Amino acid sequence: QQQQQQQQRRHYEELAHKSGFSTEQIKNLHKRFRQLSGNKETISRANLDSIPALANNPIKKQIIDAFFDKRNQRQDDEVGSLEEIGLEQFLMVMSHFRPPAHKSGEEERQAARRQKLRFLFNMHDTDGDGIITLVEYRKELLSKSGAIGHQAAKAIADAAMLEVASTNAPHMAPDDFYEGITFEHFQQILKGLEMESRMHIRFLDVDTTTMRCGKATS
């Protein structure tokens, strides 16, 4: 028993080092992981799919895909997707949503922002070629609430691309073709949103009852 606990603690510390969470948070997240996976070692897409609260979410598929996307594992340019993920991968994805550290310097904030924007970018760039093309953009808008309607979504996507192009490549020659949004352009247009302070959720340190088990999958 002691041995097991020690081993687990060391495992957690390792994970903490890699993902940046505290051991408390990892413990809570592990509990949740086990709930989702039905006490197995890995989670598959079906597990995440069956979370009832996610059913209303218009971008449910993209979120789930993001968990299985290799690019979000920060493993240096691996593309493709995994079938199942273990605790470590789960934590790596979750680590994109950590709140900014209190006493972070400018560099760290920039790095955090870059990381979060990269996560978002990967969610849009479904084919993994490093560019968000108009088709991908349109598809993403379409999926987000069918209420928008086909034509309107197209129009909005067009206008959005137009905007990106105009702010990032204002002097294109007549024969140029705007390929798509690269990561740099993406960063540029979302510069004003201050992602590092907006894209986070609260991972509580203490084991509180907000981690409700009631609605989890079985």
Cα separation of 137 and 124, whole Å?
7
Q: Counting contacts by CB under 8 A, is residue 35 touching another protein?
A: yes
**Cα–Cα distances in angstroms (integers) from residue 179 to residues 4, 25, 147, 176, 201, in the given order:** 54, 42, 28, 9, 34
Q: Which one of residues 15, 85, 92, 94 is an interface residue with another protein (CB under 8 A)?
A: 94
Distance in Å, CB of 27 to another protein, minimum: 13
Query: How many chain residues touch another protein (CB under 8 A)?
Result: 74
Q: Which one of residues 16, 54, 131, 142 is an interface residue with another protein (CB under 8 A)?
A: 54
**Binding range to another protein, per CB under 8 A, among 1-9, 16-24, 77-85, 172-180:** 172-180
Radius of gyration of the chain (CA): 20
Q: Which tokens go with 15?
A: 């994970």
Contact between 99 and 108 under an 8 Å Cβ cutoff? The reply is no
CB atoms within 10 A of CB 25: 21
The alpha carbon torsion through 198, 90, 185, 151 (nearest 10 deg) reads: -90
Amino acid (1-letter code) at residue 79: V
Q: Which one of residues 16, 82, 142, 155 is an interface residue with another protein (CB under 8 A)?
A: 155
Q: Counting contacts by CB under 8 A, is residue 206 touching another protein?
A: no
Q: Counting contacts by CB under 8 A, is residue 118 touching another protein?
A: no
Q: Which one of residues 105, 174, 184, 218 is an interface residue with another protein (CB under 8 A)?
A: 174
Q: Counting contacts by CB under 8 A, is residue 111 touching another protein?
A: no
**Binding range to another protein, per CB under 8 A, among 6-14, 69-77, 107-115, 165-173:** 165-173
**Looking at beta carbons only, is 7 or 97 nearer to another protein?**
97
Contact between 180 and 134 under an 8 Å Cβ cutoff? The reply is yes
